[in-house]
Amino acid sequence: MNILMVSSEAVPFSKSGGLADVLGSLSPALAKKGEVVRVFMPMYSFIDRKGFRKGPRFTVPMLNGEVAVSTVSRKLDGVEYVGLEHPYFTERSGIYGDTSFTPYADNAERFMLFAKAVPYYLKAAEWNCDIVHCHDWTAGLVPFYLKDCQMKVHTVFTIHNLAYQGDFSRFDTVLGGDRIPEEVFSGPAGGRRLNMLKAGLELADKITTVSPTYAEEIQTERYGCGLDWLLRERKEDLKGILNGMDMHEWNPRSDKFFPEHYSVKDRSGKNELKARVQKEYGFKEDPNIPLFTMISRIADQKGYGELLGGNHPVLEELLYQENFQLLVIGTGDKHYEEKLKEAEKRHDNLVVNIAFSSVTAHEAEGAADFFLMPSRYEPCGLNQMYSLHYGTLPVAHRTGGLADTIIDITANPSTGTGFLMEDLSSESISDAVNRAIRYYKENREGMEKAITRAMTVDLSWDKSAGEYIELYNTLSKG
């Protein structure tokens, strides 16, 4: 099959989050299984042009007339990456904005042009495509434009995070110069707005999201971000397929960010790494104190509200325990960053590193005993997978992809791989962390077995890529 992936970011060329990781791993995994895959992406100014060659040039009709664009392409790991060149992308230093907090004012027009370029690219490249697979809101209008251009191609739309919908003024729709159908708008009569993600959900042939549990959750009001009714309407076409993880980038036997390598059989390197990290960060150097880590955006989604606020200051309470060390790595919400820094001053068993750094993230994953992930919601989540693979048992909320990848040790002592909170609250965080600490202190043998199980869970892309191919097959044969 010929498959065109459409995404605003893809590793190794551009990345702001998990979406880019998926594009960079799923596409080669599909190619390895014999599919012909191209990835259509914007060519931002920061992408290294080395190895790219010129591709088709064409025009896209927009409100102001025919807009000239060009493409460049490069083959990597069996996949052809096609970059769309236009000043909207080639003259911008960011993906969605110059910083992650200030989106560009013309994002509606930028991603309308990006989506509308897809059918014109397919025509110009004379490429007989079977499936166009669109990812997140920036590719939300693609199924509409393909239909509008009477292209005979099947479409799949993947939700990586339902909370980001590409919500713009209704009047922005004139920019594309098309008559846009009612389905792409959301909100009450009189206040209808353009919603690019909703356009994808309405018009794609099939919808997927990145874990089976998240696929169920987004059909409920609590997790549906205002679109649960639509996802219930389309539930026959909605499927959750769990992401895999990058086994080359994240491998404790050969991790390029630390020398203390280890494996399932010989974990002495993990102990050495823990000792070094305890020392370098100024923790008490004691192998018997469980070291917890959190590596994430510092945001409400990741559970910082429950951890730091409310009537029950659970982090404060945990930090008064001798048998608890916590290393927090992340950047984000300034209010939470300040609260963490204040707590760090009061407790020598808390270290807060406000940074986005691969070295630090890899070292912490390798060194820690537990990975704390009290996310309010988690479409799939990658860090709990890295943690399992690094023998760092996750302590997490049973939601989305966390529910699909972690088995609770308390309920399942012989198969468990982590500690789960049924509901997210300050009390449940305290309960789960304390269960983990007790297990660590009182059941060394159980702990070693759980680490072995965690490190041998199959988290590769192979199985997930097979599920996507099955889905593509049902469309192309249907």
Site stretch for ligand ADP (CB under 6 A), options 3-11, 295-303, 392-400, 437-445: 295-303
Pick the closer one to ligand ADP by CB: 73 or 158. 158
Residue 297 binding ligand ADP, by CB under 6 A: yes
Amino acid type, 289: I
Count of Cβ atoms closer than 10 Å to residue 322 Cβ = 9
Chain centroid to CA 21: 7
What's the N-to-C CA distance of the chain in angstroms?
A: 14
250 Cβ contact partners less than 8 Å away, ≥ 6 residues apart: 362, 365, 386, 389, 390
Distance of CA 250 to the CA centre of its chain: 15
Cβ of residue 243: shortest distance to ligand ADP, in angstroms? 8
Site string for ligand ADP, 250-289 (x = CB under 6 A): ----------------------------------------
Regarding 8 and contact with ligand ADP (CB under 6 A), the answer is: no
- Binding segment for ligand ADP (CB under 6 A), chosen from 182-190, 260-268, 323-331, 443-451, is 323-331
Residue 297 Cβ vs ligand ADP, minimum distance, rounded to whole Å: 5
295 interacts with ligand ADP by CB under 6 A: yes
DSSP string of 268-310? HHHHHHHHHHHHHHT----TTSPEEEEES-BSGGGTHHHHH-S
Decide if residue 16 touches ligand ADP (CB under 6 A): no
- Binding to ligand ADP (CB under 6 A): which residues in 438-477? none
* Residue 117 CB, nearest approach to ligand ADP (Å): 26
The helix, strand and coil proportions of the chain, stated in percent and rounded to the nearest 5, come to 40, 20, 40
Q: Is 46 in the site for ligand ADP (CB under 6 A)?
A: no
Question: Does 352 help bind ligand ADP (rule: CB under 6 A)?
Answer: no
Please tell me the distance from the alpha carbon of residue 396 to that of residue 403, in angstroms, as a whole number: 9
- Minimum Å distance from CB 368 to ligand ADP? 13
Residue type for 409, please?
I
Q: Does 159 bind ligand ADP (CB under 6 A)?
A: no
Query: CA 4, CA 23: separation in Å to the nearest integer?
Result: 11
Q: Report the binding-site residues for ADP-alpha-D-glucose.
A: 15
CA angle 364–368–370, rounded 5-degree value: 125
The least distance separating ligand ADP from the CB of residue 50, rounded to whole angstroms, comes to 25
Q: Where are the beta strands (DSSP E) in 304-389?
A: 325-329, 350-353, 370-373
From its phi and psi, is residue 225 left (phi > 0), alpha (psi between -120 and 50) or beta? left
Interface positions, 380-399, toward ligand ADP (CB under 6 A): 381-383
- Does 329 interact with ligand ADP (rule: CB under 6 A)? yes
Q: Does 296 bind ligand ADP (CB under 6 A)?
A: yes
CA dihedral 354, 401, 21, 143 (to 10 degrees): -130
Question: Which residue is nearest to ligand ADP, using beta carbons?
Answer: 18
Largest CA distance in the chain: 72
Site for ligand ADP contains 356 (CB under 6 A)? yes
Q: Compute how many residues bind ligand ADP; rule: CB under 6 A.
A: 16
Tell me, rounded to whole angstroms, the distance of Cα 141 from its chain centroid. 21
Please state the closest distance from residue 305 (CB atom) to ligand ADP, in A: 16
Among 23, 39, 361, 454, binds ligand ADP (CB under 6 A): 361
Shortest Cβ 219–ligand ADP spacing (Å): 20
Residue 93, both tokens: 């230093």
Q: How far is CA 23 from CA 89, 207, 288, 361, in A?
A: 19, 16, 40, 21
Nearer to ligand ADP, 116 or 389 (CB): 389
| One residue of 1, 2, 11, 17 binding ligand ADP per CB under 6 A | 17
Whose structure tokens read 């910082």? 304
User: Within 10 Å of residue 159's Cβ, how many Cβ atoms?
Assistant: 27
Q: How far is the CB of 377 from ligand ADP (least distance, A)?
A: 9
Q: Tell me how far, at minimum, the Cβ of 319 lies from ligand ADP, in Å.
A: 21
Q: Is 18 in the site for ligand ADP (CB under 6 A)?
A: yes
Contact between 400 and ligand ADP per CB under 6 A: no
* Contact window for ligand ADP (CB under 6 A) among 177-185, 227-235, 336-344, 352-360: 352-360
Number of Cα atoms under 13 Å in the Cβ half of residue 157: 29
Smallest separation (angstroms) from ligand ADP to the CB of 299: 8
Run of H or E residues at 110: helix 107-125
- The window from 262-270, 354-362, 415-423, 466-474 that contacts ligand ADP (CB under 6 A) reads 354-362
Q: Residues annotated as binding site? A: 15
Count of residues making up the chain: 478
Q: Strands of 92-149 (E only): list them.
A: 97-99, 102-103, 131-135
The reply on whether position 100 binds ligand ADP by CB under 6 A is no
Q: Which residues is 240 bridged to in the sheet?
A: 209
Residues that bind ligand ADP (CB under 6 A): 17-18, 295-297, 329-331, 355-358, 361, 381-383
